[in-house]
Amino acid sequence: MHQRRVGRIRGGARGALLTAALNVTLPTTALANDLRVETGALQRTAGSGAPRVPVKVSWKNAWRNARNYDAVWLFVKVRGGPTAPWRHARLASSPPGANSRLVCAPSTDRVGTFCRASATHRGDMSGDVVLELDPASLPENLRRSPALEARALGIEMVYVPDGPFSVGDTDTASVSHSAFYRSTATGQHGGPFASRPRLRSVSRPRPTRSTITRPPPSTRATAPAPSPRSSRRGRARSTS
């Protein structure tokens, strides 16, 4: 029987900053979504011998609707033995295998993959994923090592589309879970806090053809005639 290693991360990327902010401002603790990532025994692909990592992932309060969804960012660390350092492994170019409840899309640089609900959903989510590693991303000695060990890790993520958004919950019971809400005049729960950024339109002046006005040609100046006095300047005076 193969021993499974369990990686557990509470809150993930979405809850990390939110939890930190609430711990500073509120006496209660924000609830996490209980993300669990279980790594199975390492397998080898027939023919190429590429390492394959079976993963069982589950989390609570998952959702997917027409506008946005949450997902789990999965990535893999490997090492050549119990005392060897961990290093990152890139995924193969082929999409990760998953059951019908999950759909996974690797990033363009293949450092990880996003796994989310395959259809409209709200509630707990779980599924099996097989992550195939890119052998070229591993050194030769590590790639063929019989002591090669892999571990999958996960971070909960949320896709946020561009545009106005709301923070909080319409349920007044969410206040006891440290949820954001719009405050009424008496400080009570008034529904989600809506954020509608103002878009300022910048109008640029329409370029026009500039007209260059040339000054009229100047008239030629006429030098004044020399005066009789100045014509006699410098002449020798005759004496009788």
Domain residue spans of the chain: 5-162, 164-194
Q: Is the predicted pLDDT of residue 139 greater than 70, yes or no?
A: yes
Predicted confidence band at 221 (pLDDT cuts at 50, 70, 90)?
Answer: low
Per-residue pLDDT at 162:
80
Per-residue pLDDT at 194:
82
Per-residue pLDDT at 23:
36
Q: What is the pLDDT of residues 38-52, one digit of tens each?
A: 999 999 877 777 899
Q: Is the predicted pLDDT of residue 14 greater than 80, yes or no?
A: no
Three-state secondary structure string covering 50-64: CEEEEEEEEEEEEEE
Per-residue pLDDT at 181:
81
Q: Is the predicted pLDDT of residue 92 greater than 50, yes or no?
A: yes
Per-residue pLDDT at 65:
92
Per-residue pLDDT at 63:
92
Q: Average pLDDT for residues 72-99, to the nearest whole number?
A: 90
Q: What is the pLDDT of residues 182-210, one digit of tens each?
A: 888 888 888 888 877 665 555 555 655 65
The residue that leads in pLDDT, 210 or 64, is 64
Using alpha carbons, select from 34, 45, 28, 30 the residue that is nearest to residue 12: 34
Per-residue pLDDT at 26:
34
Question: Could you give the angle at the alpha carbon of 90 between the alpha carbons of 85 and 92, nearest 5°?
Answer: 140
The residue that leads in pLDDT, 4 or 33, is 33
Record the pTM. 0.59
- Look-up: residue for tokens 């609830």? 31
The residue that leads in pLDDT, 153 or 29, is 153
Q: Average pLDDT for residues 129-149, to the nearest whole number?
A: 90
Other CB atoms within a 10 A radius of the CB of residue 221 amount to: 6
Q: Which amino acid is at 123?
A: G
- Look-up: residue for tokens 């009229």? 216
